[in-house]
Structure 1
């Protein structure tokens, strides 16, 4: 029989937590699934782990001989998926045993629902739950305001990043146009996929439980410093405007684009890429007037010795 759900575990070099992530899937009370581990580093270590888990017959390891990047690595796995639904799990996160059962059920009950999601725990590197950060995260992403059930304000949920697509969601594969999973969305693919699913106009479903665990540790992607770190979100907001996906939200999207251009400029400034930073701040200001962007733009015109003497982290953002 074809599996109902394809679970995709994305991997790139880091292998410390893969076994625990895979075992959390193998421990699910829901049985109709397949696991695809898609490795963008062609790592022998990752392959060995996949072959040595408790139920290796449920795990299909695939790798790319040439690096594709995070978005295309996910895309090729989705194209190979046999399941009606897709769930994505980071190699360092963890599912509670009833995660798939609780999220697949509302999708099976109504074929019009395109995505089901839950809340999640924040855990430390050693796996211990951080209750303070968990509660704070729930409030930041406004899941404390949600009641269990069907949700039709999908654009609001997508644009405000309320949905933890990677570690705490299951979505209907047929509603995702994989041709739109392009290199430019990079690590922001979760935000992009959520927006693409919201474009369908079909409802989402919220399960008001914490059914997964998001691990924080020094090697996590959100802590990576890079000059181009925020450029994928700039690409996404521009794409949303160009495609006119959410016309009633155009002003909000323009403001978010302006903010992300500002963040891109700030990153370029911190990496001393002055010309690029100046260009990004100007683009941001053409969309939305912000004193922070004006201040940072003015810094790009200072003499290099003075500019290098400034501590950018002390400028309030």
Structure 2
């Protein structure tokens, strides 16, 4: 099929935020331009990479690709939201620069959104691949079980609060298409940080619209050394601190929303766990006094938690010894 778009199909905005991953970015863009669904705009938003990807993007010679580069590093969230704000399509889909889509990803999902105007999003299951792009079968199945996608049948779900916010089944960042115009991209608070995808899921959940799920694995999530789960050392500590602060902020908002009151105990549990996680991160960052206040707060809010109590006791031990015990 020619890259000339089929104008009878609604425009889909594919947004690809990127930062210093030229080889992975090339593969991500390739998977977007080769979609069997053709009426696309592909927005690549670069967060001031040290190696400018403009030449790489121009090598595709595809007029559907639009490139934006920030003159300075604005952070992951702002770069992501900038791309959403630029989207002109009826639908918008996020594709991380280290992930990929199967050729029929959009062709499989868009028709369900077109057929039912009461749906806000459609998503699929996904493969997990390693740094070289090889499918990791065992981790793929582990992820599907962990996020309970293996328990979902393909079809429409009118109420997806549990699916989205408790089970966290929806991979909003890389395997999801959203009906544009129903979410205020400008209104996403900066405090959500790395939990922006869960926060977007939350905003979708509270609209009253439904979703469509396709149980086929249509995308490829890359699990590699640069992902949060594989970081080590100082960088990992800073990432854990940021993520814990984001979690506290998001779960507080969820707890305060009466529309999802039935899940309040679940969010409160995660909110308290995030306090302990943040405290442990601060201890590893040699900020024991700040950590201790978080542990006290968490213990006062719950009857008993061994992890929090143990962390509190550790906060009274000298920092050098604490770091050895925590494996820092």
TM-score norm. by structure 1 comes to 0.93
Corresponding residue for 1:300? Answer: 315
- Displacement, 1:51? 1.0
Where in structure 2 are the equivalents of 1:17-36 lying within 5 Å? Answer: 17-36=24-43
Q: Is the 8 A contact 2:284 2:323 kept in 1?
A: no
Unmatched runs of 5 consecutive residues or more in structure 1: none
Where in structure 2 are the equivalents of 1:208-227 lying within 5 Å? Answer: 208-224=215-231, 225-227=236-238
Q: CA 1:72 to 1:311, structure 2 compared with 1: closer, same or farther past 3 Å?
A: closer
Match of 1:9, SS state, is strand
Q: Deviations over 1:222-247 (max 9, x none)?
A: 33303323221111111222344412
Single out whichever of 84-93 and 284-293 deviates more from structure 2: 284-293
Q: CA 1:201 to 1:77, structure 2 compared with 1: closer, same or farther past 3 Å?
A: same
Corresponding residue for 2:84? Answer: 78
Match of 1:35, SS state, is strand
1:89 aligns with 2:102: no
Residue of 183, 190, 193 corresponding to 1:186? 193
Q: Is the 8 A contact 2:85 2:186 kept in 1?
A: no
Q: CA 1:116 to 1:308, structure 2 compared with 1: closer, same or farther past 3 Å?
A: closer
- Displacement, 1:249? 1.4
Runs of 4+ in 1 over 4 A off after TM superposition: none
Match of 2:173, SS state, is helix
Single out whichever of 139-148 and 280-289 deviates more from structure 2: 280-289
Q: CA 1:147 to 1:306, structure 2 compared with 1: closer, same or farther past 3 Å?
A: same
Corresponding residue for 1:105? Answer: 111
Single out whichever of 237-246 and 56-65 deviates more from structure 2: 237-246
Q: How many residues align?
A: 312
Match of 1:16, SS state, is helix
Unmatched runs of 5 consecutive residues or more in structure 2: 1-6
- Displacement, 1:304? 3.8
- Displacement, 1:297? 0.8
Corresponding residue for 1:229? Answer: 242
Corresponding residue for 1:133? Answer: 139
Corresponding residue for 1:165? Answer: 172
Corresponding residue for 1:205? Answer: 212
Q: CA 1:269 to 1:23, structure 2 compared with 1: closer, same or farther past 3 Å?
A: same
Q: Deviations over 1:236-270 (max 9, x none)?
A: 11122234441221111111111111111122222
Instruction: Give, in whole Å, the separation in 1 of the partners of 2:225 and 2:49.
Output: 23
Single out whichever of 238-247 and 143-152 deviates more from structure 2: 238-247
Single out whichever of 178-187 and 86-95 deviates more from structure 2: 178-187
- Displacement, 1:13? 2.3
Instruction: Give, in whole Å, the separation in 2 of the partners of 1:77 and 1:303.
Output: 46
Instruction: Give, in whole Å, the separation in 2 of the partners of 1:185 and 1:222.
Output: 18
**How well do the aligned residues superpose, as a CA RMSD in angstroms?**
1.8
- Displacement, 1:43? 4.9
Corresponding residue for 1:145? Answer: 151
Q: Deviations over 1:47-80 (max 9, x none)?
A: 2211112x43121000111322222212222221
Instruction: Give, in whole Å, the separation in 2 of the partners of 1:305 and 1:24.
Output: 48
Single out whichever of 113-122 and 234-243 deviates more from structure 2: 234-243
Q: Is the 8 A contact 2:149 2:169 kept in 1?
A: yes
Corresponding residue for 1:12? Answer: 19
Q: Is the 8 A contact 2:286 2:319 kept in 1?
A: no
Instruction: Give, in whole Å, the separation in 2 of the partners of 1:311 and 1:144.
Output: 35
- Displacement, 1:127? 1.0
- Displacement, 1:305? 5.0
Instruction: Give, in whole Å, the separation in 2 of the partners of 1:291 and 1:220.
Output: 29
Q: Is the 8 A contact 2:237 2:284 kept in 1?
A: no
Residue of 143, 146, 156 corresponding to 2:162? 156
Q: CA 1:128 to 1:303, structure 2 compared with 1: closer, same or farther past 3 Å?
A: closer
Instruction: Give, in whole Å, the separation in 1 of the partners of 2:191 and 2:313.
Output: 29
Match of 2:132, SS state, is coil
